[in-house]
Structure 1
Amino acid sequence: MNWLMVLIVFMGGIAVSIQAGVNGGLGKQIGVIEGTFLSFLIGTVTLFIMMLIFGKGNLLNVSTVPKWQLIGGLLGAFYVYTLVLTVPKIGVASAIISVIVAQLITSSFIDHFGLLGMKQIPIDGQRILGFLFLIAALFLFTKR
């Protein structure tokens, strides 16, 4: 296993949890859609600057990619919107555990069927047991 990549993704997970709290508070102050927009605007400007400085790809090749690959921005906006909307109501931990459960189950089905051009990795009994534990964790985190 490439531990550097795992560490980078782990740090990304930390960032997502902090982002949820920050954006949830922002949405309470200025509005849910407005907070989502501002978050994406700041992120877009940041990525534009990073692209200018560090970018090695060719943005003009966008016309050659399958059109379905362009929905990532829509999915990202929906994701941030859902966190801005829900975090003030259910808390960061409940929102993030919900995201994690959904991500792991959905990504396992993507792997199982080899969807989106991914390598096919079958769902086995161990993963099903993991799903059950995840659902139990979701219940425990969100139970009031």
Structure 2
Amino acid sequence: MNWIILITVFLGGVAVAVQASINGGLGRHIGVIEGAFLSFLIGTITLFVIMLFFGKGNVFLATEVPRWELVGGILGAFYVYTMVLSVPRIGVAAALVAVIAAQIITSSLIDHFGWLGMKQIPIDGQRILGFVFLLAALYLITKK
């Protein structure tokens, strides 16, 4: 396994938890949609500058990709909106456990069926048990 990539992904997870906390506070102060917009705007500007200096692709080729591949930005905006909305109400841990459970279950279905051009990786009993544990964790984290 490539440890550098694994560490990078781990740090990305840390960033998601910190980002959810920051965005939740931002949404409380300026409004949910406004907070999500401002977060995306700052991220867009940041990525634009990084792309100018380090980008190796061609953003203009976006006109040649299947249109469904451009939906990722909409899904990303929806994710940021849901975090800005939910974190102040249910907390960072509950929001992220719900997101993680949904990500793992959905990504396993994508793998299982080979949707969106992904390699097929069948769901087996071990993965189903993992889903059960994820849902149990969600229940325990959100139980009052």
Quickly name the TM-score band, shorter chain normalised.
Answer: over 0.9
Distance 1:61 1:25 in 2: 37
Distance 2:44 2:60 in 1: 17
Partner of 1:78: 78
Q: 1:38-77 residue pairs with structure 2 within 5 A?
A: 38-77=38-77
Distance 2:60 2:103 in 1: 31
Percent identical among aligned pairs is: 69
Asked whether 1:124 is paired with 2:138, we answer no
Partner of 2:142: 142
Q: 1:29-52: per-residue Cα shift (whole Å, max 9, x none)?
A: 000000000000000000000000
Partner of 1:88: 88
Shift of 1:92: 0.2
Give me the TM-score of the superposition, normalised by structure 2: 0.99
TM-align CA RMSD? 0.4
Unpaired runs of at least 5, structure 1: none
Superposition misfits of 4+ residues, deviation over 4 angstroms? none
Task: Write the letter of the residue equivalent to 1:142.
Answer: T
Partner of 1:15: 15
Distance 2:66 2:39 in 1: 27
Deviates more, 1:20-29 or 1:58-67: 58-67
Give me the TM-score of the superposition, normalised by structure 1: 0.99
